[in-house]
Copies of this chain bind each other. A is one copy, B any other.
């Protein structure tokens, strides 16, 4: 039996399209409808079998029992406001934005049955052509219920992500944003800066180290500027911690303090080996 009757995915990019593909492969929804500001994208999603049909305007959310907001972070709130008068009261609305505090605060005011989600399964390659129904397998999906979230909604959405292959962890939205500031936004900030700092004419002399370290710097500038801005204070905090540590390493190197240098590197190397 399907978990949902009518699912509408707003934003048929990498994440939205991959959810559609996963839902259809596993027959988790009777009908999956895709809506995109760019009709071309939604049509491509249909050709790639990520959705059953293209929604021509937002009124398509009427009668849906699940709406998934999968647009870039900065337009999630405006789409939520637009659909808030159209969706049934029982309809579950989730988003998949990379930052949660502001979105959860705003959306829980206008949509009665909202649950914030963040599947940690992106890629530096965005867009519908990269979709993959297995992208959530063995990944983590954070959900951010608040006090007023219906327990049945949490249970149902948890099952949805688990069916797509993810392990689900519930966190307050604020904690999510603080943590992701370190585990996702900080690495992105540094990768963008590192590639910026390396002179282009030195590129022929790069081994896998530079390539791996900066892979995520190929990510979309528009998407990531929105993510950084929507989690600004946590990003700045994480940057400050990083800078303090970098200054310590720099000082050890400047002073040729080999003992301290080895101690810092050893601690880091051992810590990295824990990260599987």
Contacts and interface: CB of A to CB of B under 8 A. Distances in A.
Contacts of A190: 190, 194, 213, 246
B182 A224 contact: no
A93 B183 CA distance: 45
B221 A262 contact: yes
B196 A183 contact: no
Interface residues of A, number: 83
Which of A193, A203, A224, A249 has its CB near the most chain B CB atoms (within 10 A)?
Answer: A193
Contacts of A220: 269
Interface stretch (A54-62, A76-84, A233-241): A233-241
Interface string A254-276: 10101001101111110111110
B209 A216 contact: yes
A186 interface: yes
A272 B214 contact: yes
A210 B182 CA distance: 9
Contacts of A245: 193, 196-197
A200 interface: yes
Interface in A101-134: 120-123
Contacts of A224: 265
A253 B268 contact: no
A258 B197 CA distance: 21
Contacts of A221: 262, 265-266, 268-269
B265 A192 contact: yes
Interface in A169-183: 169, 176, 179-180, 182-183
A183 to B, nearest CB: 4
A120 B208 CA distance: 9
Given A200-B274, A205-B180, A269 B239 contact: no
A207 B183 CA distance: 8
Contacts of A63: none
Interface of A: 120-123, 139-140, 142, 169, 176, 179-180, 182-184, 186-200, 202-222, 224-225, 228-229, 232, 235-236, 238-239, 241-243, 245-246, 249-250, 253-254, 256, 258, 261-262, 264-269, 271-275
13 contacts: A180-B205, A182-B198, A182-B199, A183-B209, A184-B209, A186-B194, A186-B198, A192-B249, A196-B268, A196-B271, A221-B269, A225-B265, A228-B253
Given A195-B271, A212-B216, 6 more contacts: A180-B205, A186-B197, A193-B245, A197-B238, A209-B216, A222-B262
